[in-house]
Chain A
Amino acid sequence: MELTNENVLGKIIEKFGEENVWDALNPDGIMTITTNRETILPLIQYLYDDEELQIRFLTTMCGIHYPDQKDKELCTMYQLHSFRHNYRIRIKVYFPIADPVMPTLTNLYATANWMEREAYDFYGIIFTGHPNLVRILNIEDMEYHPMLKQYPLEDQTREDKINTFFGR
């Protein structure tokens, strides 16, 4: 079976229902769907197990911070790849920053271990069930999660660097 965005989306919605999978977009040829925290694990497991899809490679995952979206401040993006069909899919989950909890994928993909540690390190997303959720690239006694948008890159007390001069 040739995998297209339409029939993969059809299969997913048939399995999980429209209330759990929404916002199917196609920004760059890779189908992007949004789901919720309860569905993400069964969904990725289903994509792995289904004989027609065989989406069995976790290419990458990362956190994204949207400070202006109320109750959807944090986002986790997973990107999966089916080598059999050369088909890629991107899955996003939005959740509030007050409750930054996600289920872990480490039981399915060994590579999720460090990816999740990276997302925890930079965004403070807590992956429940992760075997060793500690910081990975930053020092352990750091007290904040540096990729969050409220932390500016440069020293804000400097007066010689005015943002408008730099086109920002």
Chain B
Amino acid sequence: MATENKTVELDKLEEFRNNLDLKLHNKEDQNLTTLNLGPTHPATHGIFQNILQMDGEKIVDAVPTIGYIHRAFEKIAERRPFYQITPLTDRMNYCSSPINNMGYHMTVEKLLGITVPKRAQYIRVIMMELARISDHLICNSILGVDSGAFTGFLYVMQEREHIYDIYEEVCGARLTTNMGRIGGMERDLSPKALHLIGEFLKRFPKVWAEFEKMFNRNRIFIDRTTDVGAISAERALSYGFTGPNLRAAGVDYDVRVMNPYSSYEDFEFEIPVGTKGDTYDRFMVRNEEVWQSLKIIEQAYKNLPEGSYHADAPHYYLPPKQEVYRSMEALIYHFKIVMGEIDAPVGEVYHSVEGGNGELGFYLLSDGGRTPYRLHFRRPCFIYYQAYTEMIKGGQLADAILTLSSLNVIAGELDA
């Protein structure tokens, strides 16, 4: 009986392997090992499973499995009024949620034809660039941790806390921010928020210079990351790479420059590009982007225009609470917005923003109802993670870990 069971198990194992398409390597060559990396491995920083076929320490083949934290956002969005979809976007790339929030708001504004005042646009730029800094900062410092340098991570995490303090002052939340509204910001930048941003601009360059000093010309770090997980520009384009990962391969595509949104055309900044598309290039591109983001924040902070912080869109932008208590009209609008009783116009829009990891797009199809008919998120992580197999094949297992953290794949965005 016992042997029978064992045969059954072996059969199952065989079937499982066949399903994974690994049989080519397995049948003849008994020296190969199957290694299950993930889904909850501490070095993968998120829920990623890769079933690796190893020859010693060399990776021969890999089969990624995704979907562990799939939450059906696209389906949920079809049953929610427009303003209730913002919290869903928070939970995609949770390292830079303001970019997701505002990208979604801009998409809906495009559908409704709302023009946002200059001040609101500048506040958005400040918040989005802060989010980009916090996103790049965590990616690069985690890359340090994975290659054996913990110190940098510890020190820059403190700066991320300061960025989250600014979020908290602006919108009340820290990680999943739900920042802004359709039509602008929910409130103006308070004197304290302005003070915190000013302090951050003074303090952060020194911290980041120190961080760069620790890594950029560090012999061990360079040896560890050069030529690791490299991808050519042609393959990267074919795989749909965008953002820092594409720029590291040498293509200067940046949504902020090519299709400026939210007044990005007013600011002076440069797009850093790499040459080889390896882990070191990705690290350096992100480092430089942090400096460019600081430059943008400085410009926006100095030239913050006067005016309103939200558009005049009574059907979508909640009236001030004092008004709701006093005026009948405001009460009606408040009620209608909160209950989601406003029909959107028929339309079809695509809007993309430069997210932390690349082109974050929103394809919104409205049939004139109170909810989107179809809302599709173009999630950069989902699109470029499929190249991971190709990038780690033939390399060492330890390099696969570095490649994964330098790609900055965020599980929430991957699975949506």
Residue from the list A62, A110, A146, A147 in contact with B363, Cβ < 8 A:
A62
B72 engages A77 (CB within 8 Å): no
In the complex, what residues of B have CB within 8 A of residue A62's CB? 363, 374, 376
**Closest CB-CB distance, A164 to chain B, in whole Å?**
10
In the complex, what residues of A have CB within 8 A of residue B383's CB? 60, 111, 114-115
B363 engages A167 (CB within 8 Å): no
Residue from the list B259, B341, B349 in contact with A27, Cβ < 8 A:
B349
In the complex, what residues of B have CB within 8 A of residue A27's CB? 347-349
Q: How many residues belonging to A are interface residues under a CB distance threshold of 8 Å?
A: 38
**Closest CB-CB distance, A117 to chain B, in whole Å?**
9
In the complex, what residues of B have CB within 8 A of residue A45's CB? none
A153 engages B79 (CB within 8 Å): yes
B79 engages A132 (CB within 8 Å): no
A59 engages B348 (CB within 8 Å): no
In the complex, what residues of B have CB within 8 A of residue A8's CB? none
B70 engages A137 (CB within 8 Å): yes
Residue from the list B67, B365, B371, B387 in contact with A64, Cβ < 8 A:
B365
A137 to B70, CA, bound (A): 6
Main secondary structure of the interface of B (DSSP, over half): mixed
Q: Of residues 70 to 95 in B, which have CB atoms within 8 Å of A's CB atoms?
A: 70, 72, 74-76, 78-79, 81
B415 engages A60 (CB within 8 Å): no
A109 engages B238 (CB within 8 Å): yes
Q: Is B21 interfacial (CB-CB < 8 Å)?
A: yes
Q: Is B258 interfacial (CB-CB < 8 Å)?
A: yes
B382 engages A79 (CB within 8 Å): no
**Closest CB-CB distance, A153 to chain B, in whole Å?**
5
B387 engages A110 (CB within 8 Å): yes
Most buried by B among A77, A139, A168: A168
Q: Is A83 interfacial (CB-CB < 8 Å)?
A: yes
A110 engages B350 (CB within 8 Å): no
A147 engages B74 (CB within 8 Å): yes
Give A88's nearest chain B residue, CB to CB. B350
In the complex, what residues of A have CB within 8 A of residue B386's CB? 110-111, 113-114
Q: Of residues 313 to 368 in B, which have CB atoms within 8 Å of A's CB atoms?
A: 339-341, 347-350, 352, 359, 361, 363, 365
In the complex, what residues of A have CB within 8 A of residue B359's CB? 59
Give B252's nearest chain A residue, CB to CB. A83
| Cβ contacts B399-416/A at 8 Å (1 or 0 each) | 000000000000000011
Q: Is B398 interfacial (CB-CB < 8 Å)?
A: no
| Cβ contacts A148-168/B at 8 Å (1 or 0 each) | 000001100000000001111
B376 engages A60 (CB within 8 Å): yes
A118 to B73, CA, bound (A): 14
B79 engages A154 (CB within 8 Å): yes
A138 engages B67 (CB within 8 Å): yes
Q: Is B187 interfacial (CB-CB < 8 Å)?
A: no
**Closest CB-CB distance, B95 to chain A, in whole Å?**
21
In the complex, what residues of A have CB within 8 A of residue B347's CB? 27-28
Q: Is B171 interfacial (CB-CB < 8 Å)?
A: no
CB contact under 8 A between A153 and B349, given known A115-B383, A166-B340, A167-B81: no
A118 to B340, CA, bound (A): 30
Q: Is A57 interfacial (CB-CB < 8 Å)?
A: yes
| Cβ contacts A26-60/B at 8 Å (1 or 0 each) | 01101010000000000000000000000011111
Q: Is B240 interfacial (CB-CB < 8 Å)?
A: yes
A90 to B363, CA, bound (A): 11
A110 to B72, CA, bound (A): 25
Give B374's nearest chain A residue, CB to CB. A64
Q: Is B66 interfacial (CB-CB < 8 Å)?
A: yes
Give A146's nearest chain B residue, CB to CB. B75
Q: Is B235 interfacial (CB-CB < 8 Å)?
A: yes
A79 to B147, CA, bound (A): 38
Query: What would 15 A/B residue contacts be, using CB atoms closer than 8 Å?
Result: A27-B347, A27-B349, A32-B348, A58-B240, A59-B352, A64-B365, A64-B374, A111-B383, A114-B385, A132-B21, A138-B67, A165-B339, A167-B339, A167-B340, A168-B370
Given contacts A60-B361, A110-B238, A168-B370, 8 further A-B contacts (CB under 8 A): A28-B348, A28-B349, A60-B376, A88-B350, A110-B386, A111-B240, A114-B385, A138-B70
Q: Which residues of A contact B (CB under 8 A)?
A: 27-28, 30, 32, 56-60, 62, 64, 77, 79, 83, 86, 88, 90, 109-111, 113-115, 118, 122, 132, 136-139, 146-147, 153-154, 165-168
Q: What are the 6 closest A-B residue pairs judged by CB atoms, nearest first?
A: A111-B240, A137-B67, A167-B340, A60-B378, A27-B348, A62-B376
